[in-house]
Structure 1
Amino acid sequence: MLVRIGLLTDGGYPYATGESRLWCDRLVRGLAQHEFDLFALSRSAEQEAQGWVELPMQVGRVRTAPLWTADEDVLGTRAPKGLLARMVTGGGTRSYGRRERRRFAEHFAALAASVCAAGAGSGEDAGSGEDAGESGEGRTSAADAQFTDGLYGLAELAREHGGLAAALRSETAVRLLEAACRAPGTGRTVQTAAVPDLLAFARELDRVLRPLSLDWYDEEGLGAVDLCHATSGGPAALPGLLAKRFFGVPLLVTEHGAQLRAHYLAATGAPRNAPVRALLANFHGRLATEVYRQAAIVTPGNTHARRWQERCGAERGKLRTVHPGMESGRFTALGESGDSGPDDTLVWVGRIEPAKDLIALLHAFAEVRKAEPDARLRIIGAPAPGPEGATYLAHCQALAAQLFPDEATDAHAVGDNPVSFEEIGGAEVADLPDAYAAGGVVVLSSVVEGFPVGLVEAMFCGRATVSTDVGAVVEVIGGTGLVVPPRNPRALADACLALLRDPERRARLGAAARARALELFTVEQNLAAFRGIYLELISHAPARREAEAVDADGEPRPFATPPEAHVLGPWTASGPGPAATADRRPSWAAGPRAVCAGARGAGGGDA
């Protein structure tokens, strides 16, 4: 059965850089029996400048739009002139008439009131006893209704009258925000918002709500797909909400990690005042609740994300855990070799950054060395991009030299050094499987983790593991490895020693880990899950007649769409039937240039 899927992405596929790019590409290529239309939001000029990945033939139209504008210097560098000149679709600079201004004020006031309400979403005011007690169940429901009324009212206004960009940054918007913050019953933190805070929040709100102003919401855009699949919550899911509201298209939402949690983690490092953080947290909490309420099915990538979604109001009956699919083939040789690795070596593999807590790992290894003087620790990975990653790496290297002052330590050498810092691609570690082969025990020491990709890779390799109990670690590892509390070097050291001293146990745990990973975390199981979900959603969706398949009275027109129009092949470009049938054919039939040209225009951006 051919299903036309609108794949909604935010800062990822089809761009060459970005989140979930690899997963989306595997999904599209793996479900070749369906046709995909891509609706992609870009995060920066730099991302757009790096281009797209090569798209498979089952990708039809590609429509793109930026979540940035000329006055935003997202990465600290200016974009090319042609890109900077581009605004979000819909003529955002157009001025509204009196009636439209009144409608905007009404809908924006409702949205602002819901965001400023005490206990809104999961914001900073939500957890306090006083505010939580004031809100009550009925009040929360009323605020949710205000949010949906305001959100969809603004969407309809944008669709009818050319976008929201100018209105969202207008003096009217700021005045309405100020009134909502000062109203009785609002959260204590947002009541302290000053004008600069309101301006900062209005700018961020304009960015997040830009999908409302796109020209994707017509019969040739999202109205033409059979279902929408949002690859994350937040801005990526907004077009799916509107496709459901305007056309009845069912919405599927996939979050490998809960979007609200990601917002909280990102907000900790952002230079924003407390009122701005509270307003943004409240807004994203309300949006998450609405996305989960409207979605037909939500697929968290793990139980940890599932708990966050339930906290935001997702119904348990809608939740289907679908683990991310990972390629296991590159690890097959090592995994099937039966080699449990060097008896004296611990290995850590990943991106070097503070969340990985290599400081605790180094302190734990100091305890290991006291009990096993011949033990080695190999830290394999590159620092996170930016100055923070380089600074943290230097700090770790300095700590290693301090903890082992009488023994040579070097940034890259292995030899007799107890601790080495290496990168994949060198003489000692040519490829990723070589990194896992370098140790008898693979260690994960993180204090923050979502889905632990490196842990699954170690399992594919048949390696015994010691991990900290964060994120989805316990769910992934099951009973096939040792798990200790985070920030506890003593417990980490004891677990590492237990496995280093027992090769037979390492071999048993490694074999069990590989079997578990092959059962739960492969690309094949991921594709099988989504193949079934797609067909389930279509089977429950109401029948939607195509315009060319009915006559003037709305009755079916026999043979309006020839059977071959639904079969991939070159004949679809020139098959019989009405001209409109060609719009339903796989767009690759017209050649790659036609695909790119179809993405241009007022809403699509430069393809």
Structure 2
Amino acid sequence: MRIGLLTEGGYPYVTGEARLWCDRLVRGLEQHAFDVFALTRSAHQEQQGWIELPPQVHRVRTAPLWSADDGSGRGGRLGDGTGYRRRQRRRFAEHYGELAAAICAGAAGAAGSSGAAGSAGDGSAEVADRFASALYGLAELARDEGGLAVALRSETAVRALERACRAPGAARAAHEARVPDLLVVAAQLEQALRPLSLDWYEDEEGGLGSVDLCHAASGGCAALPGLLAQHFFGVPLLVTEYGVQLRAHYLAGAGEQAGAPARALVAAFHGRLAAEVYRQAALITPGNTHARRWQEKCGADRAKLRTVYPGMAAGRFAEVGEAGADQADPDTLLWVGRIEPAKDLVGLLHAFAEVRKEEPKARLRIVGALAHGEECETYLAHCRALAAQLFPDEADGVHAVGDNPVSFEELGGPEVPELPDAYGAGSVVVLSSVVEGFPISLVEAMFCGRATVSTDTGAVVEVIGGTGLVVPPRNPKALADACVALLRDPERRERLGAAARARALELFTVEQNIAAFHGIYLEIVSHCPVRRDVLDEDGDPLPFANPAETHVAGRWSTAPGTDGEAGPRFGQWLAARKGTRSGPSWAASGTTAPEGEPVAAAAAGEGEA
């Protein structure tokens, strides 16, 4: 089948989210054809180029979400005046006003942290239908008129937002919005709705209407083209979220300079969009129970949810895992990941100070790459300064002067050239995060057979499954106690490491991930009606061009008179003959075809499955 893979800020580019998972999925499902529809987030990402694509990727179409242009090449014509007709202006104002009204109705729950997730899913069905009707109305307008880029940046859009915020019944956060807030919201909506203006929605080769299934690699903007393919052409939509996109929007807000009303309105929009994506999706595949709970709170039907753990390449860690922890330094704690505030390295350093009081030989190796942004650079500098303050270079009876027990090492550098080398150096792997989605570093440590100490956040408990120690986040004393317990008990470390490796090899490999999606693809397509008629040379329909029998082992696809050689499908041959019966009733009975033609041997009982 042909799959339309929808991505945002990742595959097929060499940098970005979910790129490795998408690449492994596409390479593993070589029996299918893939068309990739990618939304990019920055010029830097585009400059980095693509990874090497396998032959089953037939086509790649890209569009930016970061530039001032809509990226569609269609030139959005809608605006406030020049070249703008009154009827189209009325249509835009009506649909955008309805969209804004639905957003303002959903801003109440988004304004508070506790009700944010639920605001999208627990709203009235009337408001949800209102949002969906406005969204598809804008999509149809964009398709008819060549795009919405200018209109979404126009004064008309800002005024429609203002009217919705001032309307009776609007949420408190909407009433409090001022002009600067409205400008921020309008800019955010313009960026999020850019996929409406793309020229991807065609029912011909290269368009989303020509694929059998749309698979969105994340929610949010990546799934929006899939929504429109479903709306325009009935293409089924599969949504995979390993990190819930709506949760990421809530954490990021609408920008550093945005006020609370703007953040609430933008969060309400993304909540409504997530609810509509979940409502229209044929199936939703969260990567863990933590993501699944978020999706349910946001309106996802539990019957549509299938947990599929992300697949990771276990082979690269095989040598370290099979060697066990005997070759590792028994006194070394290891942290691996991206260095950013959410990882709480400050708490880890304070915990290690407590560990050193109990175990003077202990060392801590922090191995990772710096996350993008000035904030992360400042955070790394702060952590280095804190380590120097907590552990001054002095003779302690175990380490020499100048030998600090804490080291900051860059992955790919001379100390740690490869990732398996990092895990091979420590006997206990520590995760100290206060915010975490799916803990990839923990799975890697499990593949390597390492005992782990983790904070209880995100999907950590689900991943560990009893094969490691878990403590509350932001609790350096508890983290230190757990580390000391494992450092003092090598037999326990060995048992936990072996159990962790067995669990990881069972649940988190590429093979199990690919097998799961192969079955899901077939299940979705099998429940969808045929959307296009297959025609013969004369233009007549072939209703049995792809009968179910062609997928059954045996000689069902053998043409009559070919003595077992491959030929046209039996159903297609039957239907193509003028004046013959295309139904299977006589073929299955073992009789001859009309005009005395013999039927396939399998129809007479040979080669039964």
Matched, 1:295 2:276: no
Q: Which of residues 178, 182, 192 in structure 1 aligns to 2:166? A: 182
User: Aligned pair in 2 of structure 1 residues 103, 48: CA closer, same or farther (>3 Å)?
Assistant: same
Q: Residue by residue, what CA displacement relative to the aligned partner does 1:551-600 show, whole Å, maximum 9, x if unpaired? A: 667564979xxx9xxx9xxxxxxx99xxxxxxxxxxxxxxxxxxxxxxxx
Residue pairs, 1:52-91, within 5 angstroms: 52-70=50-68, 87-91=71-75
User: What TM-score, normalized to structure 2?
Assistant: 0.84
Q: Distance in 2 between matches of 1:370 and 1:268?
A: 44
Q: Choose which of 132, 135, 141 in structure 2 pairs with 1:151.
A: 135
Cα distance change of structure 1 residues 210 and 551 upon mapping to structure 2, 3 Å threshold: farther
Deviates more, 1:48-57 or 1:382-391: 382-391
Segments of structure 1 that go 5 or more residues without pairing to the other structure are 71-83, 568-574, 577-607
- 8 A Cα contact 1:549 1:556, kept in partner: no
Deviation at 1:415, TM superposition (A): 8.2
2:34 is paired with a residue of what secondary structure? strand
Match for residue 198 of structure 1 among 182, 199, 211: 182
Alignment partner of 1:339 is 2:325: yes
Mapped contact 1:41–1:64 kept (Cα < 8 A)? yes
Q: Any residues of structure 2 matched to 1:504-519 within 5 Å, and which? A: 504-519=491-506
Residues 234, 531 of structure 2: 8 Å contact kept = no
Task: After TM superposition, list the pairs within 5 Å mapping 1:189-588 onto structure 2.
Answer: 189-220=173-204, 221-267=207-253, 270-340=256-326, 341-405=328-392, 407=394, 416-546=403-533, 548-549=535-536, 554=541, 556=543
Is 1:110 the equivalent of 2:108?
no
The alignment partner of 1:527 has SS state of: helix
Q: What SS does the corresponding residue of 1:382 show, helix, strand or coil?
A: strand
1:549 positional shift:
5.0
Partner of 2:26: 28
Summarize the Cα distance change of 1:403–1:263 in structure 2 as closer, same or farther, 3 Å threshold.
Answer: same
User: Relative to 1, partners in 2 of residues 1:427 and 1:92: Cα closer, same or farther, differing over 3 Å?
Assistant: closer
- Could you tell me whether the CA contact under 8 Å between 2:336 and 2:366 is conserved in 1? yes
* Contact kept in structure 2, 1:233 and 1:291, CA below 8 Å: yes
Tell me, which stretches of 5 or more residues in structure 2 are unaligned?
551-556, 558-566, 569-609
* Map of 2:582 onto structure 1: none
Secondary structure in structure 1 of the residue aligned to 2:299: coil
1:320-344 Cα offsets, whole Å, 9 max, x none, are 1111111111111110113343221
Structure 1 counterpart of 2:383, one-letter code: C
Deviation digits for residues 61-95 of structure 1, max 9, x if unmatched? 2211111334xxxxxxxxxxxxx7x7434321354
* C-alpha separation in 1, matches of 2:458 and 2:258: 26
Moved more, 251-260 or 51-60: 51-60
Q: Secondary structure at the match of 1:378?
A: strand
Comparing 428-437 with 198-207, which one deviates more in the overlay?
428-437
Decide whether aligned partners of structure 1 residues 173 and 386 sit closer, same or farther in structure 2, where only a CA change above 3 A counts.
closer
Name the larger-Rg structure: 2
Taking structure 1 as the reference length, the TM-score comes to 0.84
Could you tell me the percent identity over the aligned residues? 71
Q: Which has the higher contact order (CA 8 A, sep 6+)?
A: 1
CA deviation vs aligned residue, 1:10-49 (integer Å, no higher than 9, x gap) = 1111122221111111111110000001111111222222
- Deviation, 1:404, is 2.1
The answer on whether the counterparts of 1:550 and 1:556 sit within 8 Å (CA) in structure 2 is no
CA RMSD of superposed structures (Å): 2.8
Output the amino acid matched with 2:292.
Answer: R
Equivalent position SS for 2:124:
helix
SS for the counterpart of 1:117 is helix
Distance 1:127 1:368, change over 3 A: closer
C-alpha separation in 1, matches of 2:224 and 2:395: 55
Change (3 A) 1:358 1:128: closer
Q: Deviations over 1:103-145 (max 9, x none)?
A: 111111111100011556x51158579x98xx997x6221111
Q: Give the Cα–Cα distance (whole angstroms) in 1 for the partners of residues 248 and 173 of structure 2.
A: 21
Q: Give distance in 2, aligned partners of 1:236 and 1:426.
A: 35
* Cross-structure match for 1:98: 86
Question: Any idea what SS the aligned residue of 2:36 has?
Answer: strand
1:250-286 alpha-carbon deviations (Å, 9 max, x no partner): 0000010111001112228632111111110000000
Name the CA distance, whole Å, in 1 between partners of 2:336 and 2:275: 36
CA distance in 1, matches of 2:342, 2:47: 30
| Contact 1:352-1:393 at 8 Å conserved across structures | yes
Question: Within 2, Cα distance between the matches of 1:269 and 1:126?
Answer: 16
Residues 390 and 414 of structure 1: is their aligned pair in 2 closer, same or farther, counting only changes over 3 Å?
Answer: farther
